[in-house]
Structure 1
Amino acid sequence: MTDQPAYPPKPRPGDRIAIVSPGFAGPGAFPLPHELGLRRLREEYGLEPVEYPTTRKLDATPAERAADLHAAFADPTVTAVMATLGGDDQITVVPHLDAALIRANPKPFFGYSDNTNLLDFLHRQGIVGYHGAALMTQLGRPHAVHPLTDASLRAALFTGGTYELTEAADTSTVLGRWEDPATFAREPAAEPATGWHWHRPDRVVEGTSWGGNLEILHWMAAADRLRPAEEHAGSVLFLETSEELPSATEVFRMLRNLGERGLLRQFPAVLVGRAMAWTFEHPHDAEGRARYRAEQRAAVLRALETYAPDATAVLDVDLGHTEPQLVVPYGGRVRVDGPARRITVTY
């Protein structure tokens, strides 16, 4: 891990962007959002997507997926890399990665959820990645890319510099089925967002960002893949939970375990994504969604009171498994201005 993480050069319209499936090869199961995302990259973002042997291969081995990542990063004609989706076994891919090859060919990588594994790996190499904007979920969104997501992604992809995150006025929760073409013909239903929840907003914190999906970080800790806690001192932690909808009890226990590891007290500021609160398996109504999110917020604050009582926290931020979704730099600069209620990132 280097002391000065590097922002890789930005792609330009007309460049080639690698489309990879380091976790679950979602395009092999659900081609409709994948094809829509590819078309939007070409027509709306001016980038030429390049697929690899395992992009749509459902039974690809970890070594095969790692080989595709090596090919994507080593190809001098490819200027950015984007994951199709997340998954649940990217932790098995990381041991196959060639750190020297990737350090020698740094490129912006976009993905979240299971891609926390790869984002952390890049961070260890001193390369800034981008938590967010997977092809099938954000680029393959029904009807259109959400305007807030679009603005954030374009800034992260093409322009860089500082970017102030914007609270969403509404959020989409109830989803359509990806195998149904009718899903993509209409705007997703939305409900009013409750805004960001600020806790101890009495300071301004600026530091290097680290974190990702809480469940994946918990697995990484079990596999002893996390850096020593002290190396994160002064950084900004960001966390989010997945479509598996962990209970408030599970969220507290995972955070408690990270606290016992000495991690939570290293971060003077913590950002927590708005919890996804609906799936086909758990079709909560509006009251149930609100209750689930409130219980998760309480679990997070309970853990912080125990392990990081002085930390400034912002909950229900539009990051991770939420719609719209804002891109967060992984290993980049984040400024949390409590008195002004502003979050600014550096892309």
Structure 2
Amino acid sequence: MARDLLHPPKARPGDRIAVLSPSFAAPGFAPALHEQAMRRLAEVTGLVPVEYPTTRRLGASAQDRAADVNAAFADPAVRAIVASVGGEDQITVVPHLDASLALADPKPFLGTSDNTNLHQWLWSVGIASFYGGSTQVHLGPGPGVDAVHAASLRAALLDGGRLEITDPGESEDVGKDWNDPLALTEYGDREPTEPWSWSGPARIVTGPTWGGCLEALQWVLTAGRLREPPEALAGGVMLLETSEELLPAREVGWIVRSLGERGLLAAVDAVLVARPPVSDFERRPDAAQRAALRAAQREVVAEQVARYNPDAVLCVGIPFGHTRPQWILPHGGPVTVDGVERRVYADYS
């Protein structure tokens, strides 16, 4: 049977929201961008951002970062938590987290990338969260907050409701250098998006989501932190996305194949795969090469999903994860994948 999760109550304008750095303390690396993100977070949500000792502390220990997560859950005045950015070592933070604090006062948690570790920890103790949100990437840079991000941010934190996940029509893999003054006023190089790719049967699936960043999911599974059987994902919707590490398509296929061997692909009824980044500051293939890299990743995922679960509805290209504009999606909450009309809806309640 699918896992039954607690869904934290929404915050209200005027409440406090903890801004934490459970992985990389990006606010300490690029403080001007962080300050702009804090102003925009308050403007878009009406919430009051509150920083903790390691929010800006570069090189903070795993124990100290975990202490801030625990403190945010323990503080009754804090009604939501958002991560500043991802990183690569949050797996070392998880052993120091106190599940009793989160269960005593569940709060919406938002984060992406390496925060897959925290999402999986919350899921394992029975708390739903929201996959997406990065103050340093999606609130601070550029001339403003993207409309789809603002809408899903408010839905996740304040309003709840059901939204259709739409394609904003443009996407960037990477923005300006965070310490370039232009990062405060300009987007990165944006290009038109391709239509989403659909495969599998033409049916409608509604179920709770599970997943995250593929590289981090591999770490979680290697560390033995997914202790529930595959049946805990029964009838659900798997979320998969890849990071700015720009994994080769064949390695993406290997990891997805491992999810299949674990029985996780067979358990779900639908799979949503994000539009992947295919360039960074050092590597910028031309437009045709970028399209080919995205197509190669799409094809290997489709091959593995069809191999392990031909009855699953698959949609590739959704703007979540390591892309901007970014939709924040429920993690453990209901998403509808309509393979008949080829539309996707998320429930933020």
Instruction: Give the TM-score of the pair, scaled to structure 1.
Output: 0.96
Would you say 1:163 and 2:133 are equivalent positions? no
Residue-by-residue CA offset, 1:252-283 (whole Å, 9 max, x unaligned):
11111111111111111000000011101212
Partner of 1:291: 292
Q: Is the 8 A contact 2:113 2:216 kept in 1?
A: yes
Partner of 2:344: 343
Partner of 2:120: 120
Q: Is the 8 A contact 1:2 1:125 kept in 2?
A: no
Aligned partner letter, 2:269: P
Residue-by-residue CA offset, 1:79-111 (whole Å, 9 max, x unaligned):
100000001111111111111111001000010
Partner of 1:177: 177
Compared CA separation, residues 201 and 33, structure 1 to 2 (3 A): farther
Would you say 1:254 and 2:267 are equivalent positions? no
Q: CA deviation at 1:334?
A: 1.0
Q: Is the 8 A contact 1:112 1:133 kept in 2?
A: yes
Q: CA deviation at 1:175?
A: 2.5
Structure 2: any 5+ residue segments left out of the alignment?
Answer: none
Aligned partner letter, 2:317: D
Q: Percent identity?
A: 50
Alignment of 1:34-183 (within 5 A): 34-183=34-183
Structure 1: any 5+ residue segments left out of the alignment?
Answer: none
Aligned partner letter, 1:294: A
Compared CA separation, residues 187 and 219, structure 1 to 2 (3 A): closer
Q: Is the 8 A contact 2:209 2:330 kept in 1?
A: yes
Q: Is the 8 A contact 2:3 2:233 kept in 1?
A: no
Q: CA deviation at 1:44?
A: 3.4
Q: CA deviation at 1:35?
A: 1.3
Residue-by-residue CA offset, 1:196-242 (whole Å, 9 max, x unaligned):
11112511111111000000001111111113222212111010000
Aligned partner letter, 1:52: Y
Supply the distance in 1 between the matched residues of 2:204 and 2:135 (Cα, whole angstroms): 34
Query: Which stretch has the larger CA shift, 4-13 or 289-298?
Result: 4-13
Partner of 2:326: 325
Q: Is the 8 A contact 1:201 1:341 kept in 2?
A: no
Aligned partner letter, 2:271: V
Aligned partner letter, 1:307: Y
Q: CA deviation at 1:195?
A: 2.2
Q: CA deviation at 1:190?
A: 2.0
Supply the distance in 1 between the matched residues of 2:155 and 2:143 (Cα, whole angstroms): 22
Is the partner of 2:45 in helix, strand or coil?
coil
Supply the distance in 1 between the matched residues of 2:233 and 2:8 (Cα, whole angstroms): 21
Is the partner of 1:70 in helix, strand or coil?
helix
Instruction: Give the TM-score of the pair, scaled to structure 2.
Output: 0.96
